[in-house]
Amino acid sequence: MVSNPGILGGKPVFCGTRLPVQTMFDYLAEGLSLDYFLESFEGVTRADAQAVLRHGGERIAAELGQ
């Protein structure tokens, strides 16, 4: 995951793409599987998606003081 002011106004995107990380969360929130997301966006690897999910979990835990 990277954030660059010159790419989508600095929104976090998957490395090497212009695909916002938010897109993955939107897919998952709609009940779609991670496999479906990965099939839909071939430029994103499973390792990239898992890293974003881990990072999100860590941020939530930090905000909750856990």
pTM for this predicted structure:
0.88
Identify the pLDDT of residue 41.
Answer: 96
23-30: Cβ within 8 A, 24+ apart: 24/49, 24/52, 25/56
3-state secondary structure of 2: strand
Which of 19, 10, 49 is closest to 57 using CA atoms?
A: 49
Burial of 49 (0-12, 13-18, 19+ CB in 10 A): buried
Q: Where are the domains of the chain?
A: 14-63
Give the model's pLDDT for residue 65: 85
Q: Does residue 66 carry a pLDDT above 90?
A: no
Per residue in 3-54, pLDDT tens? 989 899 999 999 999 999 999 999 999 999 999 999 999 999 999 999 999 9
Question: What's the pLDDT score for residue 15?
Answer: 92
